[in-house]
Amino acid sequence: MVVNVVCLIIPSLRHGGAERVISILANEWSRRPNLKVFIILLTKQEHFYSVNDNVTIIEPQEEYTSNLISKFYYSIWILKFIRRTIRELKPDAVLSFCERYNNIVLLSLLGINVKRFVSDRNNPKNTLGLVHENLRKRLYKGADGIIAQTTTAKDILYIKTKNPNIKAIPNPLRNVEEHDVTKRENIILTVGRNVEQKNQRELIEIFSRLEDAEHWKLEIIGVGDLRHELENLVEMKGLSNRVSFLDFQKNIDFYFQRAKIFVFTSLYEGFPNALIEAMANGLPTVSYDCPTGPSELIVDGKNGDLVELNNTDLFVRKLQFLINDDMLRNSYGEEAKNVKTKYSSQQISQEYLNFILK
């Protein structure tokens, strides 16, 4: 039996969408007797996601500080670390995640005879800065293939890189864990880091404008630099008893299954894991139609509501409709569950494998 060796490269396994996808792919592939899976981490951080015992994790022993000189020397060291590790493992394919790190990986593999693939995990319209934009333009063209998360992202990446082998593959959906939740509560839920991209200030403003909703609560699950500012905003609006903040939860399905509505106000995305997981748990959703991802998951008026980006008035109205209409919530929620078939981890992980090992 021929055994293929696959290396996945990512900065860390801390909480995040890219990290979740890597862990799902590694776990799915590791169940195959003809595959040996390695994950190469580029920084030393606590692991939020776990992988199967037969997945080998390789992480650097070196660390760096916020000092620019320290970061520079670490970049040089990590180039050598990647190059040395790949030469030792001799994989059949390397798949790297995350934009700026993809450039580092491609640089490190120059001159090594290995199939190399990269995947950007956010909206490819976003600029990476002068240096990394130029590197992406030059290095991505020489990659054996690029994996985009949406068809829109695929088109943008082709314009930027001119790589002829780009495939759009959505994120795999992990298996939903059923919890003993007997009744959903009047909770409007969102999950995402407390950062500008997630636009949670606007969400708090939207929640404050709902009418006859004193018996509803907003739950924000995530961490980030804006947490303190968001808490102050909640207090200023007199919503402290109705808005709560929680750190990321490993049993996140419990919170999906306890809530009645999921809201998503991001300004941009790659492919929103939190949104698809909420839908898989049967939650009706109201989401901004941001680039990219929500419009590929939500059929407006069938399994959720799509709202023009930053149209707060319409977002308030759509959310108000869901609050007031049990039947509409149930209808959206039942339709939303269909994502479990379309985006199953078994199916999507096979698409990835077919692309990088063909």
Confidence (pLDDT) at 75: 86
What are the strands of the beta sheet with 305-307, ordered from one edge?
243-246, 217-221, 187-191, 261-264, 285-288, 305-307
Q: Which long-range contacts (CB under 8 A, 24 or more apart) does 255-258 make?
A: 255/189, 255/191, 255/219, 255/221, 256/189, 256/281, 256/283, 257/178, 257/179, 257/181, 257/184, 257/281, 257/282, 258/179, 258/181, 258/184, 258/185, 258/187
The set of residues, in sequence order, having a beta carbon less than 8 Å from that of 308 and lying 6+ positions away, is: 288, 289, 314
Q: Which amino acid is at 308?
A: E
Write out pLDDT tens, residues 127-172: 778 888 899 999 999 999 999 999 989 999 999 999 999 999 999 9
Topology alike, domains 4-172+344-357 and 187-342: yes
pLDDT band, very low/low/confident/very high, at 36 (cuts 50, 70, 90): very high
**351: exposed, middle or buried (Cβ count in 10 Å: 0-12, 13-18, 19+):** middle
* Weakest-pLDDT range from 38-47, 116-125, 136-145: 116-125
High-pLDDT (> 70) share of the chain, %: 100
Q: What is the mean pLDDT of the chain?
A: 94
Write out pLDDT tens, residues 67-81: 788 888 888 999 999
The set of residues, in sequence order, having a beta carbon less than 8 Å from that of 227 and lying 6+ positions away, is: 194, 245
Place of tokens 């696959």: 6
Write out pLDDT tens, residues 236-266: 999 999 999 999 998 999 999 999 999 999 9
What is the widest separation between alpha-carbon atoms in the chain? Answer: 65
Residue ranges per structural domain of the chain: 4-172+344-357, 187-342
Radius of gyration (C-alpha) of the chain in whole angstroms: 21
The CATH classification of domain 4-172+344-357, taken from the options 3.50.50.60, 3.40.50.2000, 1.10.10.10, 3.30.1490.100: 3.40.50.2000
pLDDT band, very low/low/confident/very high, at 65 (cuts 50, 70, 90): confident
pLDDT band, very low/low/confident/very high, at 26 (cuts 50, 70, 90): very high
How far, rounded to the nearest angstrom, does the alpha carbon of residue 111 sit from its chain's CA centroid? 31
Confidence (pLDDT) at 16: 85
**Helix ranges (DSSP H) in the chain:** 17-30, 68-89, 99-108, 130-139, 151-161, 200-208, 227-236, 252-258, 273-280, 294-297, 312-324, 326-336, 339-342, 345-357
What average pLDDT score do residues 6-24 get?
A: 94
Q: How many residues does the chain have?
A: 358
CB 101, CB 42: distance < 8 Å:
yes
Write out pLDDT tens, residues 200-220: 999 999 999 999 999 999 999
Write out pLDDT tens, residues 1-12: 788 999 999 999
CB 252, CB 178: distance < 8 Å:
no
**How far, in Å, are 103, 174, 266, 269, 309 from residue 125 at the CA level?**
17, 27, 15, 10, 16
pLDDT band, very low/low/confident/very high, at 289 (cuts 50, 70, 90): very high
CB 269, CB 290: distance < 8 Å:
yes
Q: State yes or no: pLDDT of 64 exceeds 80.
A: no
What's the pTM?
0.85
User: How many other C-beta atoms lie within 10 A of the C-beta of residue 193?
Assistant: 19
High-pLDDT (> 90) share of the chain, %: 82
Kindly report the CATH number that applies to the domain delimited by 187-342. Answer: 3.40.50.2000
Confidence (pLDDT) at 254: 96
